Amino acid sequence: MLIKLLLVAFSVLLSSMAARRFGHAVGGTLGGLPMIAGPIAGFVLLASGVQTTQAIALATLVCLPATAMHLTAFAWAALRWRWPAALLTANFAFFALGLSLPLWPLAAWQTCLLVVLVLALGHRAMPAARGLATAVHIPNLELLLRVIVAMALAWLIIETAGVVPAAVSGLLLAVPITGNVLPCFTLPRHGGDATVMLLRGFLRGQVGFAVFFATLLWSLDYLHAGLAYAAAWAAALAVASALYAWQTRSRS
C-alpha cells in the first residue's frame, strides 16, 4: 500500500508542477499517463511474471472506457456547476458504465478496439477548450493539499476495495484518483475553461495509458520482459507527445 500511496503523491505533484510551469493541458496530459499504474505493473512483472502482468494489463484496459466517460462528464459538468456537483456527476458516469463492462464477453483484441473507439469518441465529445497553454499560479499550500487529499482518497479506495464484492472492488481500484483530485482544485481557483483544458489533457494522456498497457499486453508474448516494459513506456510517451503536438498545432 505504501508504494501505491507514494506513487499517487508523485503523480499529483508532478502533474501540478507541470501545470504550474506549462499550463493545465500539459499537467493534465501527465496526469492521464500511467504514472501510478505503470510502475505498479513493473513491480508485478518482477514479482509475479508475464501471465499475471498480461491479465492485469487486460483488466486495466477493460476499465478505460469508464475512465473516458468520467473525464468527459467532469468536463461538461465543470462548465455548469461547482466542483462537488461535477465530481458527483463524473463518478456516477464512471460507475454506471464501469459496472457493466466486465459483463461484456470481449476478446483481448476486441477490448483494445473498444478502447480506441471510446477514446476517439471521448475526444470528440469533450467541450472545446478556451484558453492559452500558459503557466498557472498554484500556491505551495495548495500543492500540499492536493497531495494529502489524493493520498487520503487512495487509502480510502484501497481499504474499501477489500470489503466489497469483487466486481466493485476491481472498479474501485481503477478509479482515476488524479482525475478526481486535480479538477476539484482547478475548478474553484481557475474556472471551468481551465478545468476543461486540464481534463482534455487527461484524456490525451489516457491514450498514452491505453498504448502502454496494450503494448505491454502484446509485446510480452514476443520480447524479454524488461524490453517489453521499456517498449510500453516508450510507446505511451511517444503517442501522448505526438497527440499533444498535433492538437496544439491544430488550435494555433
Given a cut of 70, whether residue 69 has pLDDT beyond it is yes
16 with 146: CB under 8 angstroms? Answer: yes
Given a cut of 80, whether residue 108 has pLDDT beyond it is yes
And the C-alpha cell for 202?
A: 487527461
Given a cut of 80, whether residue 249 has pLDDT beyond it is no
pLDDT computed for residue 161 by the predictor: 65
- What are the residue boundaries of the structural domains of the chain, listed by start? 2-128+158-251
Q: Which of 25-29, 132-136, 231-235 has the highest mean pLDDT?
A: 231-235
The CA distance from 179 to 123, in Å, is 16
38-66 per-position pLDDT tens digit: 888 888 888 888 888 888 888 888 888 99
Q: Average pLDDT over the chain, rounded to whole?
A: 86
Given a cut of 80, whether residue 251 has pLDDT beyond it is no
pLDDT band at 227 (very low <50, low <70, confident <90, very high): very high
Given a cut of 90, whether residue 250 has pLDDT beyond it is no
pLDDT computed for residue 170 by the predictor: 64
Mean pLDDT value of segment 160-168: 67
The CA distance from 59 to 24, in Å, is 29
pTM for the full predicted model: 0.88
pLDDT computed for residue 133 by the predictor: 63
pLDDT computed for residue 88 by the predictor: 96
Q: Which is nearest to 19 in space by CA: 187, 131, 134, 126?
A: 134
Given a cut of 70, whether residue 166 has pLDDT beyond it is no
Q: Which is nearest to 3 in space by CA: 44, 56, 62?
A: 44
**C-alpha dihedral, 88 to 91 to 95 to 101, nearest 10°:** 150
